[in-house]
Amino acid sequence: MDKIHYLDNAATTKLYPELMETFQRYYLDVFANPSSLHKAGLMAEKAVLNSRKLVAGLIGASEEQIIFTSGASEANNLVIANGAFKRAEPVMITSKIEHSSVKKALNFYAHEHIYYLNNDQNGVIFTDFDNMEIESANLITVIYVNNEIGTIQNVKELIKKAKAKGFRGMFHVDATQAIGKIPVDVKDLDCDFLTASAHKFKGPKGVGFLYCKNPKLVNAMVFGGGQEFGKRAGTENVAGICVMAKALSKACKDMAANTKKAFEFKQKIVDYVKASEHFALTIDEDVKQSPFILSVRSDLAPSEVLLHAYADEGIYLSSGSACNSSNPQTSSVLGAIGKAPSPETAVLRISFAADTGINDINAFIKASEKMVSRFNK
Ligand SMILES: Cc1ncc(COP(=O)(O)O)c(C=O)c1O
């Protein structure tokens, strides 16, 4: 095996190499604590401030609406905890295809009163809001781009419909797989909260952000110093924040070119899958979906076996979310769209990033042919 073909970019991406310099700067030169009053501290504070402005500007927000966190999981938890702080018995509405950081936080904070929006077999969430207490709901939380199957929700429509049906709570969008890949403008969406993680757009791990339309309404979940306007205590991850802002800026600048390339790559694999007897698309081709995520089913072997066999060929994939990567039978997303694989069959998630090349796609197709000869006995 001479080369690794990394096609697991929905799990995480490789940092833009040119941003290593920024890391070095904020660990070795401008390394002071942004809360320190000396000149070095002020420099660090200014760097965080500039990054906040940059991130805010890229999503149509203003700087006081951005709270930096350790990533989307924390930001999602903060949103849901806030939904729960408003009432002794919080009422929350969500979909059946959320990331576990949303699903588990909801179960913790609102287990008695969670209403689930239905979806079709492609993971498109219905906007009817029938049979639920929408007028008394505190929070609606919906994933923008699904991390396992790539379905893009019509979030704007969901927000409009919810309001038309009398919803007066907060609307949260988990945009972790959307930010830096599809245009996101919080004013245009008209959401109250939006969350993201830097490592999904070629930024660093362990840093992300929460957008809040009205930050005054947010209560802290992590208490301590007055960082992040008192909404999230803890010494700032200065280097991570600065690198994240630069990564997002680059991802947004290159979005059109990256999207075009990802569309071509995805189409090439889609064409291969459609021509094959042993692979099938998990969701229909005409559904609105991310060009960066493709979910494919196969009857050749169980997921775990097939994923290892691809890895032996240098092709790194997963079957879905990192949380259930080798066991898609337990994926609630695949279950919710009625496509959980049997123990003998597989689901593969192939995901791209700006640094994916045509050689990676060709290598996947070549390896798939090998899988057919090896497992189709
Ligand atoms: C849709 C979605 N939400 C939230 C998260 C959590 O992100 P992190 O692990 O960076 O906190 C992920 C990560 O896979 C995701 O795909």
Alpha-carbon distance values, 94 to 16, 68, 97, 346 (Å): 34, 24, 9, 27
Cβ of residue 147 lying under 6 Å from some atom of ligand 1 = yes
Number of domains the chain is built from: 2
pLDDT value at residue 330? 75
310 with 207, same domain: the answer is no
For residue 212, indicate whether it is catalytic: no
Q: Which of 231, 253, 275 is at the close of a domain?
A: 253
Closest C-alpha residue for ligand 1 atom 9:
73
Cβ of residue 158 lying under 6 Å from some atom of ligand 1 = no
53 with 125, same domain: the answer is yes
Q: Which residues contact 363 (CB under 8 A, 6 or more apart)?
A: 3, 5, 313, 314, 315
267 with 249, same domain: the answer is no
Distance 339 CA to ligand 1 centre (A): 22
CA 307 – CA 285 distance, rounded (Å): 23
233 with 189, same domain: the answer is yes
**Active-site annotation holder among 191, 212, 242, 323:** 323
pLDDT value at residue 242? 98
Cβ of residue 8 lying under 6 Å from some atom of ligand 1 = no
Cβ of residue 349 lying under 6 Å from some atom of ligand 1 = no
Closest C-alpha residue for ligand 1 atom 14:
11
Q: Which of 227, 253, 279 is at the close of a domain?
A: 253
Rounded to whole angstroms, the maximal C-alpha distance in the chain is: 71
Domain with residue 258: its CATH number is 3.90.1150.10
Cβ of residue 113 lying under 6 Å from some atom of ligand 1 = no
208 with 234, same domain: the answer is yes
pLDDT value at residue 326? 54
84 with 101, same domain: the answer is yes
pLDDT value at residue 130? 86
263 with 366, same domain: the answer is yes
Q: Which of 253, 269, 291 is at the close of a domain?
A: 253
The residue segments making up the domain with residue 318 are: 5-14+254-375
69 with 112, same domain: the answer is yes
pLDDT value at residue 320? 76
89 with 218, same domain: the answer is yes
Nearest to 297 by CA among 242, 340, 360, 246: 340
Closest C-alpha residue for ligand 1 atom 16:
147
CA 73 – CA 94 distance, rounded (Å): 16
Cβ of residue 177 lying under 6 Å from some atom of ligand 1 = yes
Alpha-carbon distance values, 91 to 74, 96, 118, 286, 370 (Å): 21, 16, 17, 34, 51
Query: Which strand ranges, in their side-by-side order, compose the sheet holding 208-212?
Result: 66-69, 208-212, 193-197, 170-174, 139-143, 92-95, 114-117
132 with 228, same domain: the answer is yes
289 with 365, same domain: the answer is yes
Distance 196 CA to ligand 1 centre (A): 8
With the CA atoms of 32, 36, 41 and 42 taken in that order, what torsion angle do they form, in degrees rounded to the nearest 10? Answer: 160
Beta-bridged to residue 195, according to DSSP, are 174, 210
Domain with residue 175: its CATH number is 3.40.640.10
pLDDT value at residue 128? 86
Distance 73 CA to ligand 1 centre (A): 6
Closest C-alpha residue for ligand 1 atom 15:
176
195 with 52, same domain: the answer is yes
Distance 99 CA to ligand 1 centre (A): 7
pTM: predicted TM-score of the whole model, two decimal places: 0.96
Pocket test for ligand 1, best of 15, 70, 96, 99 (most atoms within 8 A of CB): 99
CB–CB of 166/134 below 8 Å? yes
Cβ of residue 197 lying under 6 Å from some atom of ligand 1 = yes
Kindly give the confidence (pLDDT) of every residue in the chain, 377 residues in length, as a single tens digit, with 9 standing for 90 and above: 568 999 999 999 999 999 999 999 999 999 999 999 999 999 999 999 999 999 999 999 999 999 999 999 999 999 999 988 878 889 999 999 999 999 999 999 988 899 999 999 999 999 988 888 899 999 999 999 999 999 999 999 999 999 999 999 999 999 999 999 999 999 999 999 999 999 999 999 999 999 999 999 999 999 999 999 999 999 999 999 999 999 999 999 999 999 999 999 999 999 999 999 999 999 999 999 999 999 999 999 999 999 999 999 999 999 876 655 556 667 899 999 999 989 999 999 999 999 999 999 999 999 999 999 999 87
CA 233 – CA 221 distance, rounded (Å): 9
